[in-house]
Amino acid sequence: MSDNLRGSLAMVLSMAAFAVEDALLKFAMQTVPTSFVLLIFGAVGLNLFAALSRRAQEPVFHPAILSPAMIIRSGCELAGRLFFFLALAFSPLSSTTAILQSAPLVVTLGAVLFLGAHVGPRRWVAMAVGFVGVLLIVRPAPASFEIASIFAVLATLGFSGRDLATSISPKTMSSNQLGTLGFAVLILAGIILFPFQGLPESPINPVHVLVVAGTTLVGVLAYTTLTVAMRTGDIAVVTPFRYSRMLFALVFAIFWFGERPDPLMIVGTTLIVASGLYTLMRSGGKIPSGPRP
């Protein structure tokens, strides 16, 4: 099996697991505050990955976590996770997931801005079309704008930065060590958010707490396979399979949460997916790259 095929299959599995995780977390956050979810999710995930590292007889925290690439990765992970959990709590699952599909466009733009990449005019047009799709979903007009949708946009920026940093992360770091660091950042995100949310106003459903803890197992699977996907094969071959997450998410959004995507959201999602695929196809199988800092 080629690296590209293994990376693509890992990405599809990761997106299916993330969709399950998203749906379960959105269900649990009906009574559990977002800060508590981040703390529980982070603590359980950190301990699971730490156990995997100990089993592999490797350090739980690799010294490379203090390297510039990993510090940037952790900062982007913090922003991405924090705002994504807020988007899950306060926005429809379908629109949140649709906005996240613009991540490949943001990754390409990030490669231009930070890695010295060069893209042609056609890809600039494609990226512009994709961002128009995001605007159709966010709808910044006063009559239809929902401020909670900005959380998904900020999460997309954070996740895109994380993925760029992951692609240049030290190869000496294992997936377990990357996972431990990622879930440690989740705990930090929960601590940061807690003063703004405080204690819950209504009783927390114990079942929802158990769902959050149990969902961490799905999150570990999703996180691990995403890391494998981003470090296996050509990124531009693997990244388009992110769009499978939209299909999985729509199933949950429609049949579990009763959401009904309207025509503008469908058009916006189509523009994002089409422009993202075109951008990656024009890249010749590679993310635009240039001199790395």
pLDDT, one tens digit per residue, over 107-134 is 878 877 776 777 778 888 888 998 999 9
What is this structure's pTM? 0.82
Nearest-angstrom CA–CA distance, 212 and 205: 11
**Confidence at residue 54, expressed as pLDDT on a 0 to 100 scale:** 93
Residues 6 or more apart in contact with residue 83 via CB below 8 angstroms: 151, 152, 154, 155, 158
Check whether 66 has a pLDDT greater than 60. yes
Q: Does pLDDT of 145 surpass 80?
A: no
The mean-pLDDT minimum among 21-35, 101-115, 176-190 falls in 101-115
Chain centroid, CA 237 distance in Å: 18
Length of the chain measured in residues = 293
**Residue 55, Cβ density class (10 Å: 0-12 exposed, 13-18 middle, ≥19 buried):** exposed
For the chain, counts of helices (H) and of strands (E):
12, 0
Of the ranges 41-50, 75-84, 198-207, which one carries the lowest mean pLDDT score? 198-207
pLDDT computed for residue 293 by the predictor: 29
DSSP 8-22: HHHHHHHHHHHHHHH
Q: For 178-206, what is each residue's pLDDT tens digit?
A: 888 988 999 999 999 988 887 777 778 88
**The predicted structure's pLDDT at residue 204:** 80
Tell whether the model's pLDDT for residue 1 goes beyond 60: yes
pLDDT at 288 over 70: no
Round to whole Å and give the CA distance between 128 and 263: 20
